[in-house]
Amino acid sequence: MSTGLPVLQPGLNGWPRSAADFGETLRAHGMELQAATVDTLQVNVGKLCNQACKHCHVDASPSRTEIMTRETAAAVIDAVRRWRIPIVDITGGAPELNASFRHLVQEARAAGARVIVRHNLTVMLEAGQEGLPEFFRDHAVEIASSLPYFLEERTDAQRGHGVFQKSLIALRRLNSVGYGKTGSGLTLDLVYNPVGAFLPPAQASIEADFKRELMNRYGLVFNHLYTITNMPIKRFLDYLHRSGNEERYMRKLVEAFNPATVDGLMCRNLVSVDWTGRLYDCDFNQMLELGVDPELPQTISDFDPKKFVRRRIMTRSHCFGCTAGAGSSCGGAVSVSSF
Amino acid sequence: MAYYEEDDLQRFSEIAKHRPDLFEKFMSWYQACQEEGALSRREKALIGLAVAHALQCPYCIDAFSQSCLEAGSNMEQMTEAIHMASAIRGGAALIHGLQAHHSVEKVSM
């Protein structure tokens, strides 16, 4: 039976099936995807996490053993110092579980970089994480934390039983040291992603809901809410397969392609480094082991930002996840234009 | 063949096989109605969900359930919209009970 779209091509090596080619779609709009600059080094320090969220594009969990060594962390710090990289964005897994985490933050700050930590909130309650809010505060770390919804049922459905209540405790502790409070200068941003196979709502609209509900229900504050589209790879792709939603979700992403998002895509301004020191155009490509252009240096030890400016970005069908609707990035929606 | 096929929702445009001009006019109107206006996209999606239930259209229920989620509604809000449609539909049936009263009174001594 015809669906009106080309027959879907089977995905390879964990890539989603897609009715369209991302590169061809760009060309059809007279566009190409090229880096603009490198202002951010996104450092994935490993796949170890205290949670195992159903949508995780990293397949992170407590049983993962891939984790950045002190030597690789030192190479990252050397690159940040040498090239005066303005922003260091630390992610995982739960990056706090890496033994080098606090050292990495301290050295990046000492080098003058802004430091963003993708903090899952609940890790704060794990053994060995005592004093984490104060550490964040003392180093003016900018915090970006996933909270898929302001209701327990939906958050726990995605992130695991009990996660919502633990997240509230962590948010309360962050608020208590000043995070999210007006005038404190301490940034606490939340990240929304849909609990299922649908696109996120308009960022400003759902941010207003979160601010009102988290204040009214729990007395909590934060700075901004960013919306992120679930990327059709790894654990979320497995869910799409199992639930029979893959074809429909991919069609939705392709049909919602918005050329106005392309200029603001995060890959145009960052380089991603994995736990072994290998370089990628983004954290999603990293999980698919799709490295940077083979003609460029491949590891953090050989990194030179001059060579990465205006580089060709490596793309596959999952990239439709970042260009659908208002777009998606680690900093949320990338376009406010209608689609 | 079942009377309702899930994939038919994606094949809606095949209606334009005959009198495409009419379908084009319909789509233009349909899409314009859903744009942000005096009502938000979220409010319009909830209205769409409520009407879909009142009409008991499986295609519309499927489409507007997703539209509601993508406009930021949750199941509590969507369920309230469905109850609104159902209550009004129930009330509309019940008020006709007076027609029955009138009919019975007319033929009763």
Q: How far apart are CA A31 and CA A2, in angstroms?
A: 30
Q: Which is it for the CA torsion A217, A218, A223, A225, positive or negative?
A: negative
pLDDT per residue over B8-30, tens digit each? 888 999 999 999 999 999 999 99
Q: Residue A8 pLDDT more than 70? A: no
Residues B69, A196: C-beta atoms closer than 8 Å: yes
Q: Which one, of B10, B26, B3, lies nearest residue B63 by Cα? A: B10
Nearest CA in chain A to B72: A201
What is the band of B7 on the pLDDT scale with cuts at 50, 70, 90? confident
Please, is B32 exposed, middle or buried when counting C-beta atoms within 10 Å of its C-beta (0-12, 13-18, 19+)?
A: exposed
pLDDT per residue over A197-206, tens digit each? 999 999 999 9
Q: Residue A1 pLDDT more than 50? A: no
**Which single residue is written with the structure tokens 């209550």?**
B87
pLDDT over 70 percentage in chain B: 99
Q: How far apart are CA B88 and CA B70, in angstroms?
A: 26
Residues B69, A2: C-beta atoms closer than 8 Å: no
Best of B69, B77, B79 to mutate (most A CBs within 10 Å, chain A): B69
Residues A149, B69: C-beta atoms closer than 8 Å: no
Q: How far apart are CA B13 and CA A308, in angstroms?
A: 45
pLDDT per residue over B45-71, tens digit each? 999 999 999 999 999 999 999 999 999
Residues B72, A205: C-beta atoms closer than 8 Å: yes
Nearest CA in chain A to B10: A3
Judging contacts by C-beta atoms under 8 Å, the chain B residues touching residue A149 are 74
pLDDT, position A5? 37
pLDDT, position A15? 62
Helix (H, G, I), strand (E, B) or coil at A310: coil
pLDDT, position A339? 33
Q: What is the Cα Rg of chain B in Å?
A: 19
pLDDT, position A73? 97
Helix (H, G, I), strand (E, B) or coil at A299: strand
CATH superfamily, with its number, for domain B40-109: AhpD-like (1.20.1290.10)
pLDDT, position A20? 81
pLDDT, position A3? 36
Please, is A253 exposed, middle or buried when counting C-beta atoms within 10 Å of its C-beta (0-12, 13-18, 19+)?
A: buried
Residues B74, A200: C-beta atoms closer than 8 Å: no
Q: Which one, of A60, A228, A103, A96, lies nearest residue A170 by Cα? A: A96
Q: Which one, of A242, A254, A255, A318, lies nearest residue A286 by Cα? A: A318
What is the band of A335 on the pLDDT scale with cuts at 50, 70, 90? low
Do residues A126 and A50 make contact, with C-beta atoms less than 8 angstroms apart? yes
Residues B72, A206: C-beta atoms closer than 8 Å: yes
Q: Can you tell me the mean pLDDT for A245-260?
A: 92
Using left for φ > 0, alpha for ψ between -120 and 50, and beta otherwise, residue B105 falls in alpha
Please, is A27 exposed, middle or buried when counting C-beta atoms within 10 Å of its C-beta (0-12, 13-18, 19+)?
A: exposed
pLDDT, position A215? 98
What is the band of A4 on the pLDDT scale with cuts at 50, 70, 90? very low
Give the pairing of strands A87-91 and A40-44. parallel
Give the residue extent of every domain in chain B.
Answer: 40-109
pLDDT, position A30? 94
pLDDT, position B1? 66
In order of their start, the domains of chain A are 36-245+262-311 (3.20.20.70)
Residues with Cβ within 8 Å of A243's Cβ and at least 6 positions away in sequence, in order, are A197
Lowest mean pLDDT among A78-92, A144-158, A298-312: A144-158
pLDDT, position A318? 92
Nearest CA in chain A to B71: A201
Best of A248, A249, A328, A337 to mutate (most B CBs within 10 Å, chain B): A248
Please, is A280 exposed, middle or buried when counting C-beta atoms within 10 Å of its C-beta (0-12, 13-18, 19+)?
A: buried
User: Mean pLDDT in chain B?
Assistant: 94
Please, is B77 exposed, middle or buried when counting C-beta atoms within 10 Å of its C-beta (0-12, 13-18, 19+)?
A: middle
| Token pair of A233 as six digits | 């790879």
Nearest CA in chain A to B76: A151
Do residues A98 and A44 make contact, with C-beta atoms less than 8 angstroms apart? no
Q: Residue A330 pLDDT more than 80? A: no
Q: Residue A229 pLDDT more than 80? A: yes
| Token pair of A82 as six digits | 């040498």
Judging contacts by C-beta atoms under 8 Å, the chain B residues touching residue A201 are 42, 69-72
Q: Residue B77 pLDDT more than 60? A: yes
ipTM of the complex: 0.77
Q: How far apart are CA A241 and CA A200, in angstroms?
A: 20
Residues A194, B74: C-beta atoms closer than 8 Å: no
